[in-house]
Structure 1
Amino acid sequence: MNLRLWENPWRLTLAVNAAVLAGVFLHKITLQPYVPYIHLLVDYHFGFTKRALIGAIVSLFTAKVPVWLVFVLGGAAWLITAGLFVQLFRRTFGFEQKHLPLFVFMAGSPFFLKNFMHTLGHFDIYGCLLAIGLLLIPARSVAYVLLAALFSAILVLIHHIHLLMYVPTIAVIVVLRHYLASGMNRQNLAVGFASLIGLGALFIAAQFYGTVPVSEAEFVAHLGSRMADPSRTNLLSFGYIWYQPLAKEISDTWQRLPHNLLGVPVFALLIWLHTPLWRYLRNLIAALSVDAHRRIVTAAIIIVSLGYLVMFAIVFDYSRWVSNWAVCLMLILHAVKALPAAKEAAPIKADNRKTLVFGWIVTLIPRVGIVRPF
């Protein structure tokens, strides 16, 4: 190994992170892609259907869906997300030595790219991908608000839970990058309110009117007709989720709650290990030159967090929700960095022994999981 890597522990953590990512990928491709695969089969064959956008797009290109397409599409989304995040970090902070610890706590976090690798094929990453895109493009005109609304609508059509998962973060990015920078006028306020109303209506349509209007047996038979290998009927075992009402999802979540709450101390530990990152976010907010901006950012973080608390009460994929919440805070951090500041927030100290230990632990944790920790 290059001597320079040994002399710079933070560069070494990046090399180890790459090795851990490769290991997570090799493990992932050995697992059965139950939910990701069935999402590629569901389309608008029976009319407007929730969670069907990706499958409908796939149906435009192929009548038969192979299982390997889950990993191709999921892998492509992961690679684009990772590439855009590197570009975002380079533009926001740069890759000088002083910012390497920050990059490790973000890109090397088990909440972020490593967990997206473990959940390859799931829909979470699309919210992150589109949010990063909004952080990279100019936000000077009202067209930016319309584009954010379009991205949010796409996410709700992919899965309506995005209304709580990434749409609030996208709204925060729009407020911080457009409204606080360009000011509020009648036009952009009207577009913003209209977008919120439209997204609310789309969510209601997906949640309450997106149920398949045929029997589950007929629905599953249609999905089977789209499989490249119809013998793998075990991959259709999650067809019931297109028939499960909201009340049933909440009931299942609360029945599992006592067992799932056992993972909360682990989540708390993982969040604590990212203390240098959260401290830096706090310092960025404190350094803002406008008092109103500090209050708005603080309120935005609270609102995004409350959205995830609601998700905790509705759906029991707790490891994914905690991970995506942390990713949302990382994205908001980039938006905060672009706001006017009275002073430069001190970067994470590279020579602090405790910080380095935390960085190594974060590096070596391969993922957080889907439902329960690890």
Structure 2
Amino acid sequence: MRSSERGIGLRAILKHPWRLMVAVNAAVMFGVFLHKIMLPPFVPYIHLLVDYQFGFIKRALIGALVSLFVARVPVWLVFAIGGGVWLIALGLFVLLFRRSFGLDDRQMPLLVLMAGSPFFFKNFMHTLGHFDIYGCLFAIVLLLIPARSILFVAAAAAASLLLILIHQIHFLMYVPTIAVIVVLRHYLIGGITRQNAAAGIAAIAGVGALFLAVQFYGSMPVPADRFTDHLRGRMADPSRSDLLSFAYIWYQGLSQELHDTWARMPSNLLGIPVFALLIWLHTPLWRYFSDAVRALSDQHHRRVVIAAIVAVSFGYLIIFAVVFDYSRWISNWAVCMFLILHAVKMLPGSPVAPPAADDRRNQLFGWIVTLIPRVGIVRPF
């Protein structure tokens, strides 16, 4: 009798492979977390130590906020803060997905190919403590809140300013996607008025000015040894001097970053076929994205969406030429595409059928995507 019940249970599980993929993805994410906490958090830990002690500098907002509550920073705080932000982002994304598509069995392929993608939450888990997820989190919030009022433009501008203070690379990494969300949700649906046009121009000017200030006037103004002594004074365990090995990045200018990136370019380009393969494994999702754009009721909306995708992608090409963490950038580019798809779904259009759950090819893509634990930081895997 028991073997018969087990057989029935196994058949029930196999009858719903996409639900099983969701469960396997949860297990994989937990495994990535266990692996992550065993690694020394070099750059993420320094971000919690750096503050505005020596004036206005880049990459100091998170550390300055931490300094308001903690005088000496323990290493575990990296994983506590990073894990908390990760959980909030995941919860809000599930809420957004349910609002955009629903959570019935027909939508499970989309959920697996998005939330279970090695580009998305699994890679955010691998980069736990880095600043990337903050851009994703703010973008998800902007996809959830009402967008009719001019306050929506102000909220997007405030989010963009905060992201640049966290790290100036957000100017190309997530701020363009936030701008796309504002255009699609506020300007395309509500129309352009004198008031919201002025607000948009003011937001662009403010964000651009802050980026230039951080990029060119946010360098550390004191000698490296004094800066390192300050960081050591904020450490819960000052003997862990190995965790300060990346303090030099606060002295690294744009020219040095360009030099380092192009010096690594030949080896980094070897990862492009792997990135292309990973993108191809999401084919059912990209096909659905394309159908959703074609299904938009207004041809002008379709043109704006296509232009937005090109603009966001061009921003990532610039990042590729400046900073060599290629696995992170390609992962965040994919996340931006996922978020833009949600914004597209909020525009008027005809219904689009999701990827077929019973299609064997779609299931194969889903299983491969599910079993890939993450993409990485610099090189694939």
Q: TM-score range by the shorter chain?
A: over 0.9
Query: Residues of 2 paired with 1:76 and 1:15: CA distance?
Result: 21
Question: Following the alignment from structure 2 to structure 1, what is the Cα–Cα distance between the partners of residues 324 and 13?
Answer: 41
2:89 is the alignment partner of 1:74: no
| Distance in 2, Cα, partners of 1:35 & 1:277 | 33
Q: Decide which of 197, 220, 223 is 1:189's aligned counterpart.
A: 197
Partner in structure 1 of residue 139 of structure 2: 131
Equivalence for 1:292: 300
- 2:221 equivalent in structure 1: 213
Aligned twin of 1:354 = 361
Report whether the alignment pairs 1:238 with 2:258.
no
- 1:294-373 equivalences under 5 Å are 294-341=302-349, 343-373=350-380
1:166 maps to 174
Instruction: List per-residue Cα deviations over 1:235-268 (Å, max 9, x = no partner).
Output: 0011100000100000100000000111100000
Shift of 1:216: 0.7
Report deviation, 1:351: 1.4
Deviation at 1:346, TM superposition (A): 1.6
Amino acid at match of 1:215: P
Moved over 4 A (4+): none
Which residue, out of 202, 223, 239, partners 2:231?
Answer: 223
Deviation at 1:24, TM superposition (A): 0.4
Measure, in 2, the Cα distance between the counterparts of 1:163 and 1:44. Answer: 21
Give the TM-score taking structure 2 as reference length: 0.97
**Cα distance in 2, alignment partners of residues 213 and 5 from structure 1:** 60
Find the partner of 1:29 among 18, 33, 37. Answer: 37
1:271-327 Cα offsets, whole Å, 9 max, x none, are: 000011111000000000000000000000000000000000000000000000000
Give the equivalent residue in structure 2 for 1:259: 267
Between the aligned partners of 2:316 and 2:299, the Cα distance in structure 1 is 27
Instruction: From 256, 262, 285, give the equivalent of 1:248.
Output: 256
Query: Which residue does the alignment assign to 2:209?
Result: 201
- Does structure 1 residue 92 correspond to structure 2 residue 123? no
The alpha-carbon deviation at position 366 of structure 1 amounts to 0.1
User: Using the alignment, how far apart are the partners of 1:14 and 1:6 within structure 2?
Assistant: 13
Deviations 1:91-118 (A, max 9, x none): 1111111111000000100000000000
**Could you give the per-residue CA deviations for residues 18-50 of structure 1, whole angstroms, max 9, x where no partner exists?**
111111000000001000000000000000010
User: Residue by residue, what CA displacement relative to the aligned partner does 1:318-338 show, whole Å, maximum 9, x if unpaired?
Assistant: 000000000000000000001
Could you tell me which amino acid in structure 2 is paired with residue 269 of structure 1? L
* Letter in structure 1 aligned against 2:369: V
Q: Give the match's secondary structure for 1:293.
A: helix
The equivalent residue for 1:151 is 159
- Structure 2: which amino acid aligns with 1:196? I
Deviation at 1:156, TM superposition (A): 0.2
Q: Which amino acid aligns with 2:312?
A: V
Take 1:196 and 1:161, find their aligned partners in 2: how far apart are those partners? 16
Q: CA offset at residue 12 of structure 1?
A: 0.7
Count of residues paired in the alignment: 373
Partner of 2:51: 43
Note the C-alpha offset of 1:6.
Answer: 2.4
- Deviation string for 1:117-136 (max 9, x for gaps)? 00000000000000000000
Aligned counterparts of 1:143 and 1:122: Cα–Cα separation in 2:
29
Offset of 1:344 from its aligned partner?
1.1
Ranges in structure 2 where 5+ consecutive residues have no aligned partner: 1-5
Matching residue's letter, 1:174: V
Separation of aligned partners in 1, 2:351 and 2:96:
19
Matched, 1:271 2:279: yes
The CA RMSD measured in Å over matched residues stands at 0.7
Report the Cα offset of residue 5 of structure 1: 2.4
SS at match of 2:332: helix
